[in-house]
Amino acid sequence: MEFFEQNGNCLIFRENGETVEVAPWGESSLRVRASFLGEIEEGSIALLEPEETDVKISTGEWEASIQNGNITAVLKVQPWGHALQICFYDQNGKLLLQEIPNGGALQKKARQFTPLPGGGYELRASFVSDPEEKLYGMGQYQQEVMNLKGCNLELAHRNSQASIPFYVSSLGYGFLWHNAAVGTVHFGRNTTEWVAACTMQLDYWITAGERPAQIVEAYAHATGTAPMMPEYGLGFWQCKLRYFNQDQVLSIAQEYKKRDIPVDVLVIDYYHWPRCGDWRFDEEYFPDPADMVARLHEMGIETMVSIWPQVDWRSENYEEMKQKGLLVKSNAGVDVQMVFHGNNVFMDATNPRTREYVWEKVKKNYADLGIRTFWLDEAEPEFTTYDYGMYRYAAGPVAQVGNVYPREYARLFYEGQTETGQEDIVNLIRCAWVGSQRYGALVWSGDIMSSWEDFRKQICAGIHMGLCGIPWWTTDIGGFHGGATQDPAFRRLLVRWFQFGAFCPVMRLHGSRVPHEPIVNRAGEVREQTGADNEIWSFGEEAYPILVKFIRIREKMRDYTRSLMREAHEKGSPVMRALFYEFPQDAKTWDITDSYLYGPDILVAPVCREGEMKRNVYLPKGASWIHAGSGEEYAGGSWYEVEAPLDTLPVFLRDAKQSYLIGMI
């Protein structure tokens, strides 16, 4: 019998209806695809076409191998049942990852295709788990967990959850589940199991690297890097729920200018439109938006406007979009996919005709006024019940391709802006998937609570996002829900969060502050409410000078931040980095959950527990560290208890670099 064949630079296995192909896909990387009762489907939902590499393939009767740079896949046919097992090794012969064996009489399958009524398969792919292995990445999950070993994760998007199925392993490899289907992954002690609810074939990508940076850079090369961050992405952004009229927007901007506090972007939040799906300003509240934008530009401030993908049944565009087939469809029943200020359906961002139609409206009503940056909210999209099997996109059933939606939403705007000649594009968005970064996606962590627990979760989320290809990430400083502007306890939380925000890829103040104020238009219709004040002078006399201080620190770091953004653009490097990213040889760095590196040189240890005025900080081995406040030098490789009164936080400078910060913090 001949199980194996070589086709060009690919190794192919066939047996009993299954076809498996292993192909080189970038430097020291392999792509594995498998189909059942059919040929391998060509194309790629996220991976870019690779450059050619030198490949070595050998085939025997029961075993074959393919080597691409520092990674080798060995394919073994197991005698009982002729099941195939694939094992991956690095250049030194160390085992990185292996599919499960069939277990002899157990007759297990590493790739289990279960047919579904109507076509497609439920797919389960199983790998042997090394219990000592540590895993990082996978996107944004609201949990205070760094090492993901032992976690069960939903492969689906929700408000504040972004599923990006790529991880970095402490064993020296990175793994991408190259499948946009809704599903789950179980990182168990005995096995790792990936499950796709509905798919046509197995598809995954694996790369080998001696350092986490090599792995992340290989992944970025395979899936794309972010554009260069524009200059207005480097400073402070002001936002709240919500500036509901033109006069309010301009008065806030003027107050910042009067106080000589730099603001790069001022954000106009949702329901500045008449109905969802109108994609234009409501004339009652914004009678002359062109003049508003021009006046903000004169003050050196960019205008960002919120965009929602919902289309209200009463929208001026609904009937046309329905007739043209530009909307997400429910598989049965009435097309109501979200109820909020009316019955709403989602525009179908996976449909290129939809992307063209919506951009035409956005260009006319926003971009032509001088607005260059957009806030793409509801990007999951936020189906009210998250019944993923209920809906269908032009690209296919949501169960099969649903996770691609936020990337295509970002693509809509990026391609439209590019066509108008805009460069260095950044758009704020609430979700992401593999490749979102190449469409200028700045992901924020969603409608999180204003709590210390949620604050700590964001530190983990930001680190994980950077490791899976999303270097541009931010939070609502202070959290979104539940913060009372006049509450002393909330003010302390906001100050600590603001300090953290100064050392995030983008520094943005936002939140739905209480108490809220109702808004009723001239016709007597209740509009979306506005929250309490959320400017830096809104939180009392003690907080104000601290917040000003950290905006000044952010400004002082502008050149450094710009260099980090260029590195992200050129190599895919995270801006917000796990300690092990720079210090992988220090075993202790792989377990730190509450501190990180802002680029290579600045270690940030947020004060993220209520009432803390000091905290323990681990400084990695392999560098000396300067306390940015006192200028005192500390040796790496030890824990230190560091004082942290409310007006400061522990920040350490690696090998005395970025010394201009000494005494500022």
- Output the six-digit token pair for 607: 């004060």
Helical H segments across 243-369, by residue range: 246-258, 289-298, 318-324, 352-365
Q: Is 380 a catalytic residue?
A: yes
Beta strand spans in 225-301 (E): 236-238, 265-268
- Output the six-digit token pair for 554: 């952010």
Distance of CA 255 to the CA centre of its chain: 33
Q: Is 535 a catalytic residue?
A: no
Residues sharing a CB contact under 8 Å with residue 137, sequence separation 6 or more, in sequence order? 148, 164, 166, 167, 168, 174, 464, 467, 468
For the chain, give the longest Cα–Cα distance.
82
Please name the helix (run of DSSP H) or strand (run of DSSP E) that holds residue 207, with its range, or none.
Answer: strand 202-208
The CA-CA-CA angle for residues 420, 324, 435, to 5°, reads 50
Catalytic residue among 133, 447, 567, 647: 447
Q: In this structure, are residues 486 and 455 in contact, taking their beta carbons and an 8 Å threshold?
A: no
Q: Is 260 a catalytic residue?
A: no
Catalytic residue among 217, 278, 380, 594: 380
CA 23, CA 29: separation in Å to the nearest integer? 9
Residues sharing a CB contact under 8 Å with residue 233, sequence separation 6 or more, in sequence order? 264, 265, 426, 442, 472, 506, 565
Cα of first residue to Cα of last residue in the chain, in angstroms, is 71
- CA proximity to 72, closest of 52, 54, 53, 93: 93
Catalytic residue among 90, 99, 282, 377: 377
Q: Are strands 111-115 and 512-514 parallel, antiparallel or unpaired?
A: unpaired
Which residues carry out catalysis? Answer: 377, 380, 447
